């Protein structure tokens, strides 16, 4: 999104978050992914996930995010005008790894396919995220709502091994 279309709040937070991002955040995209089939187990018990979406050039853009897990899917709330939303609409492949608040990876990334949810699906995503965080998140969301920041939700499904998919296809034939 052109810089002129971002909200002033986004411009400030992007500036701050980029400067505080841990230098190892960029290494997550080149790390050996967790084995397909483990789903999001490597993320359980962690507060932050390092979501890496990909530019047209193939360069990974890592972003630490709060997330919620439900039904073997991962949910993230983000500003609708965020760069990751545009990148995911173009290329749904993402990597997500457990990390610190600054984005320092704490484990292997999990490969997934992301999509931007329709407004009718937001409630399910919000329930998953709210179940993982307490008072601080409610305060954060209240402030975001008062600043009139247009938010949306992302859903990520883990990529399963091709062998699993072939097995399912064979059994249903």
Bridge partner list, 156: 74, 114
Predicted model pTM: 0.81
**β pairing state of 60-66 and 110-116:** unpaired
- The b-or-e profile of 84-107 (16+ CB within 10 A means b, else e) is bbebbeeebebbbbbbbeebbbbb
Please give the Cα distance from 61 to 58 (Å, whole number): 9
Taking the CB of residue 156, how many other CB atoms lie within 10 A of it? Answer: 25
Percent of the chain surpassing pLDDT 90 = 53
Q: How many residues does the chain have?
A: 173
Across all residues in the chain, what is the average pLDDT?
Answer: 85
- Least confidently predicted of 13-17, 20-24, 107-111, 159-163: 159-163
Is CATH 2.30.110.10 the classification given to domain 19-164?
yes
pLDDT digits (tens, 9 = 90+) for 34-86: 888 889 999 999 999 999 999 999 999 999 999 999 999 999 999 888 889 99
């Amino acid at each position: 999104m052109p810089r002129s279309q971002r909200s002033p709040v986004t411009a400030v937070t992007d500036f701050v978050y980029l400067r505080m991002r841990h230098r190892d955040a960029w290494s997550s995209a080149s790390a050996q992914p967790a084995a397909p089939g483990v789903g999001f187990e490597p993320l359980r018990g962690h507060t932050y996930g390092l979501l890496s979406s990909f530019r047209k050039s193939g360069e990974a853009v890592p972003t630490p995010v709060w997330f919620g897990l439900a039904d073997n899917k991962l949910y993230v709330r983000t500003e609708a005008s965020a760069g990751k939303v545009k990148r995911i609409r173009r290329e749904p492949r993402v990597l997500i790894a457990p990390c610190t608040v600054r984005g320092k990876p704490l484990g292997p990334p999990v490969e997934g396919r992301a999509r931007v949810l329709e407004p009718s699906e937001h409630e399910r995503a919000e329930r998953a995220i709210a179940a993982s965080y307490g008072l601080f998140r409610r305060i954060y969301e209240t402030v975001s709502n008062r600043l009139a920041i247009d938010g949306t939700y992302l859903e990520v499904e883990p990529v399963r091994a091709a062998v699993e998919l072939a097995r399912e296809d064979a059994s249903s034939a």
